[in-house]
Structure 1
């Protein structure tokens, strides 16, 4: 098999956790071709950030390069790519706020932040130096709380960032620096969903930061890397960490 299709299959094999990969393999076994509505249903059932874009690209390459290939054959190729394994982590996806350019394909920070929050099934870890004018984000977090997602907000106290999340106070845990007198600041900007996806960048959780300022970030889809990031943030909220719950 040549063309883009093998590359896209290998990318999905690296990215998907075992349970989602198994579900996709089962779905592919059931379809005859790339236009099956069963694939649309699978995509809506697995709303990880950027995953719908990857699946759409795969289906397009399938139509263009191997339109007569049945889904079962594609499932076999995907399973083979998974079994072969790869030491190369999936590339980070670039994200921007403000103007875009034709230099590289990018996605807007505001849309990605929403996608990452929606992809969480068990936990969300969110860190920001400043936060305000984020009604859409607050609404998404309210939806995550309704799904029983555990939400931890690591916020800088000096900017009064916690005020932006006032309507969610009963559904989130807020963390500030334990030592108010030191000269450190909580300056990280992170949205981590479970242990599979994380958005990192220069943008604060503000209306300007997510949409209008010139900001640059990346999405990490590599579960081991995201897991280590989550472990570090959890350590910061632990007994030996630098944050206290308020």
Structure 2
């Protein structure tokens, strides 16, 4: 069998591209309805376009249906409707997975018209509200943030396990002057587990003291904000800060697992306050 025979009957690049684009443009309900129509026909018959339009009316549906049928008829007329339906469902599935795993840009302070962004404070509140099992918060500094404290309290009340990792204050030999994260959330008592990196565990002869400088908020293992912003009122609103929300469950799980290992009492370097 030569290569041309091996690929005979396979959908062309044009049809594959069209199906992928429609999967991204059509709502999920339209994809399901269209796949049902396509699976019921053998070929790109003249009645298919009208059947697609009638299956699920909506804005610009007629143009989309006309485009699909035209490309199908021109580039893969012998391809069964069931194959086109499967391609559409598969493309839509991959599109949904891509959307779930998307990243978002988050900023504090001045914004620009260059790209659409979300504000750090609103994202922090959203992630805390999203948590159902666990909430990990890591910050060098914490100050004020009454709204965040209230949201964390509500999360703890609904059964979320809350872990706060923050830098040590000067009283404990750390580099942070003034209020610490543990101080900010002290009013929540044992509903929040506070962790620190003991100074004795990080001293290195002849070198300056390493700092706990990470800023992370992870809701379960579904989404995480990785940002330059501390948990302070200025950082969440006024300072020029930039971060990203990661919604890739695999990446978020690895991040959460990293801190779980660091807080492991058997081998971790972080200690409970």
- TM-score by length of structure 2 reads 0.62
Q: Which moved more, 1:199-208 or 1:170-179?
A: 170-179
Considering Cα pairs closer than 8 Å and 6+ residues apart, tell me whether 1 or 2 has the greater RCO. 1
Q: How does 1:67-106 map to 2 (within 5 A)?
A: 81-82=92-93, 90-106=101-117
Match of 1:57 in 2: none
Query: Following TM superposition, by how much is the alpha carbon of 1:114 offset from its aligned partner in structure 2, in angstroms?
Result: 0.4
Check whether the contact 1:177–1:186 (CA below 8 A) recurs between aligned residues: yes
Check whether the contact 1:202–1:215 (CA below 8 A) recurs between aligned residues: yes
Check whether the contact 2:141–2:181 (CA below 8 A) recurs between aligned residues: yes
Aligned residues: 195
Query: Following TM superposition, by how much is the alpha carbon of 1:3 offset from its aligned partner in structure 2, in angstroms?
Result: 9.5
Query: Following TM superposition, by how much is the alpha carbon of 1:168 offset from its aligned partner in structure 2, in angstroms?
Result: 1.1
Inter-CA distance 77–165: structure 2 relative to 1 (3 Å threshold): farther
Query: Following TM superposition, by how much is the alpha carbon of 1:233 offset from its aligned partner in structure 2, in angstroms?
Result: 0.9
Check whether the contact 2:261–2:267 (CA below 8 A) recurs between aligned residues: yes
Match of 1:229 in 2: 255
Q: Which moved more, 1:166-175 or 1:217-226?
A: 166-175
1:8-46: per-residue Cα shift (whole Å, max 9, x none)? 679xxxxxxxxxxxxxx8xx69xx9xxxxxxxxxxxxxx
1:63-103: per-residue Cα shift (whole Å, max 9, x none)? 64449x9xxxxxx9667632799789833210000011101
Equivalent position SS for 1:157: coil
- TM-score by length of structure 1 reads 0.69
Among residues 187, 203, 221, which one is paired with 1:167 in the alignment? 187
Check whether the contact 2:108–2:235 (CA below 8 A) recurs between aligned residues: yes
| Rg comparison, structure with higher value | 2
Is there any run of 5+ residues in structure 2 with no aligned partner, and where? Answer: 1-17, 34-56, 65-86, 170-175, 204-208
How far apart are the structure 1 equivalents of 2:26 and 2:189?
A: 42
Check whether the contact 2:108–2:237 (CA below 8 A) recurs between aligned residues: yes
Is there any run of 5+ residues in structure 1 with no aligned partner, and where? Answer: 11-24, 33-61, 70-75
1:170-210: per-residue Cα shift (whole Å, max 9, x none)? 20100011334621211100000100100011000000000
Match of 2:199 in 1: 179
Q: Please tell me whether residue 6 in structure 1 is matched to residue 49 in structure 2.
A: no
Inter-CA distance 146–106: structure 2 relative to 1 (3 Å threshold): same
Inter-CA distance 146–95: structure 2 relative to 1 (3 Å threshold): same
How far apart are the structure 2 equivalents of 1:192 and 1:5?
A: 33
Q: How does 1:132-211 map to 2 (within 5 A)?
A: 132-158=143-169, 159=176, 160-180=180-200, 182=203, 183-211=209-237
Match of 2:84 in 1: none
Q: Please tell me whether residue 245 in structure 1 is matched to residue 272 in structure 2.
A: yes
